[in-house]
Structure 1
Amino acid sequence: MNYLIAVYPDRMTAEAAYTDLEEAGIPKSDLVILGKGYTTADEFGFIDPTQQGKKQAKLMSYWLIPFGFFGGFVFDYITGLNTFAWAGTPGNHIVGGLAGAASGAMGSFFVGNSIGVLTGSGDALPYRNRINMGKYLVIYKYEINRYRDLATRVFQDSNPENLQGYSEGS
């Protein structure tokens, strides 16, 4: 799916552009307005970066926590540290493993969340921010370039703040 996205400062100009696109012959089914009172970013399908961060952290925890436990256990075994005398030798190894597992959990949380937020949103984050600032997006979505040039001319005539083409998967 391909998108042509125009950003407008207020509702009136966004509605005027939408009407101009309809009058030019572009099907209503291919047009969407995003903003207050219209379709939300979530309903349209813009990825929420915090959701991507949580997902990435969860995926990382599946391998970082066991790896951390193994690393902590082996480190304590090799060094022979007697940190907790009351636990004995096997107990110290297990405590070392638990400390490593806790480190793995912290790593997956902090690194997974930050990487998921930075890379998981793509172009969606700037558009979400614009909607949150009170701006409106008019989106023409298409699979075949049948009306793309017409839509581009109509968008340019309406003088949007920003006009950008976007292809899903690129």
Structure 2
Amino acid sequence: MNYLVAVLSDRMQAEAAYSALEKENFPINKVAILGKGYKTADEYGLLDPNEEARKNVRLMAFWLIPFGFAAGFTFSLITNLSTFAWAGEIGNHLIGGLLGAFSGAMGSFFVGGGVGLAFGSGDALPYRNRLNAGKYLIVIKASEGFIRQATTILRRFNPESLQGYVDSSMT
């Protein structure tokens, strides 16, 4: 399935573009308008990249923190390191486990998407920002032929942005 996202500056322009698609006998059930008075990004299913990153970090942490603790504890046990003399033998192994768990937490943050959470990433965020700024999106989900037809129609309205996407999860 292919997507086409057009960013239009105001409601009148978005409605005119929608009407133009309708006049050209474009299947309207494949078109959605996002913006004030229409669907929201959440209603349409436009993923919030921050929420996805949080979910990935939690999932990774679920596995990496306990594994890191076990690996750190085992490493300390095998090497018999006495890094902290005041902690004793068991204390050194527990500290090794805690350091391993901390490493697992760092891994879940960096690999799970925490960097994107901290610094922003993905295409959904700019679209959400444009919706928050009062712009309107026309999103079309259709086959490649319909996307080409819609692109031709929407270009007449000089959208701020016209971006096509291919859903790779369908292949």
- TM-score category, normalised to shorter length: 0.7 to 0.9
- TM-score normalised to the size of structure 1? 0.80
Q: Which digits, 9 at most, give the CA deviation of each residue in 1:46-105, with x for residues without a partner? A: 2211122122212322442133213432454425326263x5312331232123213322
Taking structure 1 as reference, are residues 62 and 116 closer, same or farther at Cα in structure 2, changes over 3 Å only? Answer: farther
* Corresponding residue SS for 1:26: coil
Residue 163 of structure 1 corresponds to 162
% of aligned pairs identical? 54
Taking structure 1 as reference, are residues 5 and 25 closer, same or farther at Cα in structure 2, changes over 3 Å only? Answer: same
Amino acid at match of 1:65: I
- TM-score normalised to the size of structure 2? 0.80
Once residues 109 and 65 of structure 1 are traced to their aligned partners in structure 2, the CA distance between those partners, rounded to angstroms, is 11
**Which 4+ runs in 1 deviate beyond 3 A?**
74-77, 115-118, 147-150
5+ residue gaps, structure 1, are: none
Count of residue correspondences: 167
Q: Which digits, 9 at most, give the CA deviation of each residue in 1:90-123, with x for residues without a partner? A: 23312321232133224423552325649x9643
5+ residue gaps, structure 2, are: none
1:122-133 maps to which residues of 2 (within 5 A)?
122-133=122-133
Residue 19 of structure 1 corresponds to 19
RMSD: 2.7
Once residues 149 and 104 of structure 2 are traced to their aligned partners in structure 1, the CA distance between those partners, rounded to angstroms, is 54
* Corresponding residue SS for 1:165: strand
Q: Which digits, 9 at most, give the CA deviation of each residue in 1:11-62, with x for residues without a partner? A: 1111111111112211221111011221111221222111221222123224
Residue 82 of structure 2 corresponds to 81
